[in-house]
A and B are shown apart, each in its own frame.
Chain A
Amino acid sequence: MWKDNLRGIYYIAIKDMKTYYLKPPAVSWGIAFPLAWILAFYLRNPQDFRELVPGLIAMTVLFSTTAAEAVVINFELRLGSLERLLLAPISLSAVLLGKILGGVIFGFMMTAIVTLGTVSVLGLQANAPFLVLIIILSLFAFSSLGALLCVLVKEVFEAQTLLNLPRFVMIFLCGVVYPVSALPPAVKHFAYVLPLTYTVDGVQQSLGSVQSGNIILDIFVLIAFTLVFIFPAIKLLAKKFA
């Protein structure tokens, strides 16, 4: 049974890569948007660009994983293709995990390009195992968040609108551009309940940008966020087929 589920998760993810992710809209949203955003900051202040690299990597993680999830889940729900997957001898959880894994694989590809590009061009020293671990855990957390928000609604446009809210809130509050420590106390507390804060912190520490954080805490918090997003998402999807 678990073998069937693992096989299903893998093939659904690969199919989604082929049909949705490796297409111009997803690629451009996943990689071009963070690049354009950071370019704007670079042109404003080129001297401090190295400090912006963790934020650039974190933003790529966030936008690439959630780039096509509304299409991958809501569009398929609407067309009935998701029902076709549910008719296969795999569990509903495996179908949703396949969808989440598709976002993770695509996000990893996009983030790898941005990370390798910036780290090598700027000659940054990275703790590679921690950096990869933080990126992978973040990819799972954001892909699960995307899946949860998508199954909350019916239509593709509703899902895209709903996804934009946490994405843009996190850009401003999680240390991508402005350090969390510089935020007003009330906002700072809010930043600590957002997963991107831990991605930025984990990437900063892996690249040696800051020394004060706790990367082990980042790892556990990102795992916790993933679980907190995945389980309700599975419940909500099951409710649609109750």
Chain B
Amino acid sequence: MGIIEIENLKIYYKTVKGYVKAVENVSFNIEKGETMGLVGESGCGKTTIGMSIMRLLPRNAKIIGGKIIFEGEDLIKKREEEMEKIRWKEISMIFQAAMNALNPVYKIENQILEAIYAHENISKKEAVERVSRLYSLVGIDPRRAKEYPHEYSGGMKQRAVIAMALACNPKFIIADEPTTALDVMVQDQIISEIKEIQKKLQMTMMYISHDISVIAETCKRIGVMYAGGIVEYADAIPLFKKPLHPYTKALMNSFPSIKGEKKKLTPVPGEPPNLLNPPSGCRFHPRCSKAKSLCRKKAPKFVEYQHRHFVACHYVG
């Protein structure tokens, strides 16, 4: 049984022009201690899924159906007061561009302390000690905790944000594009630190990114998202060795690499659909080279094609 199980999750955004069908029938589970990666292009719904687990969706978003089961309990049914106890303490999140969310007028230590005090009743001494432990864990000199955000470099801010996410020993962490705005070398350091911390603390993680290389390096299990749905979900190595869904194949072929032979890559034709009015049947069919008339009519089921390898395509293999 997984620590988190998502069943047929369906989330729509209400806008002036109608409903944006952002997440449609998404199901997956994450085992304890596993790192799961969610990869897809912008607007495919990956951040929406992360926010829905935290129950921090914007007001105009509506969970139309499905379940988010965390340790046996459905989070969708929880009241806001109950969620407040779970958030940060049980499930925490490293937000997209979170380093810009540090408040410039407070010392970073105080910002982390605030997060701790909000959820735990511990003495100041204990809390300060914990902050310095967290700082060593994420690789910053604990003495620098008393500085202000502007005294930190981008990479250090991101580390501080990770420390903040870890502050209450959560069981499950969602990391939404934690390295996107950073330079390659800093990104690399942070990724390797996240991996180390994950190993050390045996944490369960969900890692959200548009960059398939970052996901390949960090995650044991990968879900590929397209236009609001997960099209393929499998262990990383088999997924990369033998992707089953045409979109996964196309996505992998869209990234140039510095390893291996230099070859000409062919992009997926067209552009991602507008989810106000998504294509009928399989949402990928207008861009799929293998699409047949069935794809236009009927949405494919998300089935376990091989052991631990799920795929949503009418014509697998």
Question: Are A and B part of the same complex?
Answer: no
Chain B residues at the A interface, C-beta cutoff of 8 Å: none
